[in-house]
Structure 1
Amino acid sequence: MSFVELEREEQAGRKKRIIDLVVELFAPGMIDLDPCSTAEANTRVGAVRFFDAAADGLDPGNVYSGNVFCNPPFGVMAGGESMQGLFLERCLAEYREGRVKQVVLLLKAAVGYAWFRQVGGLPHCTLWERLAFVQPAALCGEEAGEGLRWGSKVQNPHGSVVVYLGPDPQRFAKVFGRAGSVPGFNGWALAG
């Protein structure tokens, strides 16, 4: 493949939304659970089930199953523990215990945080572009204050990493390698 063809393919891959890549990875299945969502956000994610803040996706009584997409909120719990780290731990436990088929976690690239250290030992993809997240319109300064705001005007000060827990890391690397750097797949280790 020539450099020009590779660049065109990379640009096309970057234009796909992360959710599209998750759905492609899970095919022929779908997103069965999003443990960190809202009814409004789920209109875009399309999970069969979701837990919102009131249901608390970290509650041990909430059952995880099937294909899970998890995009935890930033911030910390009352005890000072990172929400991102807590959801990563929960998803790891659910996968290791065989209660879920596969998990895709969308996390901030939090290099330097203790919880983030284990990401390096898992199949992951550091995304090339900074993502824009959804926020309630009221937080974006819109007068109506209803609904959600999507897109580039929703500020995100962090880079992102996608972590995969599942039976097919090669498929993960092929799908997400179009949107970022997957160590050992499209990085320097296999170049040339």
Structure 2
Amino acid sequence: MTAGRNNAEVLSQHWCTPPKYVDAIREFFAESVTLDPCSNRHSIVEATVEYSLPEIDGLSASWNYPTIFVNPPYGRDRERGTTIRDWLRKCTEAHVQHGVEVLALVPVATNTRHWKQYVFGAATAVSFLYDTRLRFLVNGRDSGKGAPMSCAMVYWGPQYERFEKIFVRFGAVVDVRHLHGKLIGTGEHLDLFKTVEN
């Protein structure tokens, strides 16, 4: 993942997935991450195929690979006009169109349209990570600073039980398949507060 913030110092930094999550991702995919579409020279994911800017734009290239890990830029890419919404859409499309398994490490934003549409509306499960502030590697090193937001590991694929078994170590795992096709956040499908009259 490369930073998507505005100042020159931060833009020159390469943000990478923390080792304990890389280990869990490898365990989940049985050591075979076939695509990392958001890689950089400091990444420790070591996917078979890695896309990194400026050589290859991971949003434009093919995602027809069996196992994909995505740690996308969290900010807006002004040059390309993209945001994290585009990455979550691509995760969903890859799963639906090619039947691939996708794991994505993303900021928790349950109030946003992209979470309602592509996570709650299309993913299999979410692990809401317990780390209060995830410590990404910056240019390959642990800077000691935590991310300014909570993060989650989102999964698109058929192996819910395996996902739960591996990622419950890191956070509460929620099966979101029952939300597919529902109007999320409108209250129209929730019966939680209705009273039952006999």
TM-score by length of 2: 0.69
**Any unmatched runs of 5+ in structure 1?**
1-14, 137-147, 186-192
Superposed, 1:10-159 pairs within 5 Å as 17-27=20-30, 29-41=31-43, 44-54=44-54, 55-59=56-60, 61-78=61-78, 83-98=83-98, 101-118=100-117, 119-121=119-121, 122=123, 123-129=125-131, 130-136=133-139, 148-151=140-143, 153-159=144-150
Counting aligned pairs with the same residue, the percent is 29
Residue aligned with 2:174, SS: coil
Q: Distance in 2 between matches of 1:37 and 1:90?
A: 16
User: Which segments of structure 1 move beyond 3 Å, counting only runs of 4 or more?
Assistant: 61-64, 77-82
Query: Which has more helix, going by share of residues?
Result: 1
Counterparts in 2 of 1:77 and 1:91: CA distance versus 1, 3 Å: same
- Which amino acid is 2:78 matched to? A
Counterparts in 2 of 1:184 and 1:168: CA distance versus 1, 3 Å: closer
What is the CA-CA distance between 1:36 and the residue it aligns to?
A: 0.5
Aligned residues: 154
Q: Distance in 1 between matches of 2:154 and 2:165?
A: 14
Counterparts in 2 of 1:126 and 1:63: CA distance versus 1, 3 Å: closer
Preserved contact between residue 127 and residue 180 of structure 1 (Cα < 8 Å): yes
Q: Distance in 2 between matches of 1:63 and 1:184?
A: 24
- Which amino acid is 2:142 matched to? W
- Which amino acid is 1:159 matched to? S
What is the CA-CA distance between 1:80 and the residue it aligns to?
A: 9.7
Counterparts in 2 of 1:173 and 1:63: CA distance versus 1, 3 Å: closer
Could you say which residue in structure 1 is the equivalent of 2:186? none
- Which amino acid is 2:59 matched to? L
Kindly report the root-mean-square deviation, in angstroms, between the aligned alpha carbons of the 2 structures: 2.5
Residue aligned with 1:183, SS: strand
Residue aligned with 1:97, SS: helix
- Which amino acid is 2:52 matched to? D
Counterparts in 2 of 1:26 and 1:111: CA distance versus 1, 3 Å: same
TM-score by length of 1: 0.71
Preserved contact between residue 72 and residue 83 of structure 1 (Cα < 8 Å): no
